[in-house]
Amino acid sequence: MIMAPPKIEAFASREALFDATASVLVAALNDAVAKRGHAGFAATGGTTPAPVYDRLATLTLPWDKVTVTLTDERFVPPSDASSNEGLVRRHLLVGAAAKAAFAPLYFDGADPEEAALKAQDGVAAALPFGVVLLGVGGDGHFASLFPGNPALEAGLDPKTARSVIAVPPGSPAPDLPRISLTFQALIQASLIVLLVTGQAKKALLEAPVDPGLPIAAILNQDRAPVRILWAE
Ligand code: 6PG
């Protein structure tokens, strides 16, 4: 059933967007801890979320009851500038938030498939997520589930037993091997927040959403509520 996509919540500036996103995340995590005694948070990588994580790290949360993992990872060590683990460790797991547990997707010495299998136990400890923060690519990808990629079908399979998969490099993207949470893992969440900037990505998310875009799977599912937070 194709559902109307969630309405886009527009903010007057990126600063306002980042403030609002951090507030939504901390409320969802506090709610999950209150309900279940623990909260899992699946954090996106990319170039947008760092200011959100900087804000989130300063907010009041029983961080020792939170497990942070990633929606996806570039297959590089945390010390690499393009590492999402590195991004989260620099911007989120600092100060009081350093008390949170972290479930990595990258493991030294493992190949992508071995890493994906190894990551599943840590991700399982964070499921069901209190909240998932996703970015959206200009090609409609989310996490590391890219249009046309050989791993896309497995990644979007609602019946897969996998929560984490290896994603090979592809053309035009991704340029590096990736590790990605699967669609069925990501929707095991009390809330999915899409953090989006710019007109082009906003247009992707306005009805009618192209059903061929990976992000359409997130917008069309009815397991996890979705909020789209956007600024220019
Ligand atoms: C990554 C992300 C990816 C990202 C989108 C949007 O590892 O790059 O997880 O899915 O969220 O590509 O990226 P920007 O925030 O850079 O636009």
- Give yes or no for residue 51 CB within 6 A of ligand 1: no
Q: How far is the CA of 95 from the centre of ligand 1 (A)?
A: 25
CATH number at residue 151: 3.40.50.1360
pTM: 0.98
- Give yes or no for residue 46 CB within 6 A of ligand 1: yes
Q: Which of 18, 47, 85 most suits a substitution to test ligand 1, by most atoms within 8 Å of the C-beta?
A: 47
Residue 48 lies inside a defined structural domain of this protein? yes
Residue 3 lies inside a defined structural domain of this protein? no
Residue 206 lies inside a defined structural domain of this protein? yes
- Is 105 in contact with 179 (CB distance < 8 Å)? yes
Residue 1 lies inside a defined structural domain of this protein? no
- Give yes or no for residue 48 CB within 6 A of ligand 1: yes
* Cα→Cα distances 157→85, 124, 163, 183, 209, Å: 25, 18, 11, 7, 19
- Give yes or no for residue 44 CB within 6 A of ligand 1: yes
In the chain, how many domains are there? Answer: 1
Residue 177 lies inside a defined structural domain of this protein? yes
Range of the domain at 156: 8-231
Backbone angles phi, psi at 201, to 5 degrees: -70, -35
Residue by residue, pLDDT tens for the chain (232 residues) are 566 789 999 999 999 999 999 999 999 999 999 999 999 999 999 999 999 999 999 999 999 999 999 999 999 999 999 999 999 999 999 999 999 999 999 999 999 999 999 999 999 999 999 999 999 999 999 999 999 999 999 999 999 999 999 999 998 899 999 999 999 999 999 999 999 999 999 999 999 999 999 999 999 999 999 999 999 9
CA-nearest residue for atom 13, ligand 1, is 46
- Give yes or no for residue 21 CB within 6 A of ligand 1: no
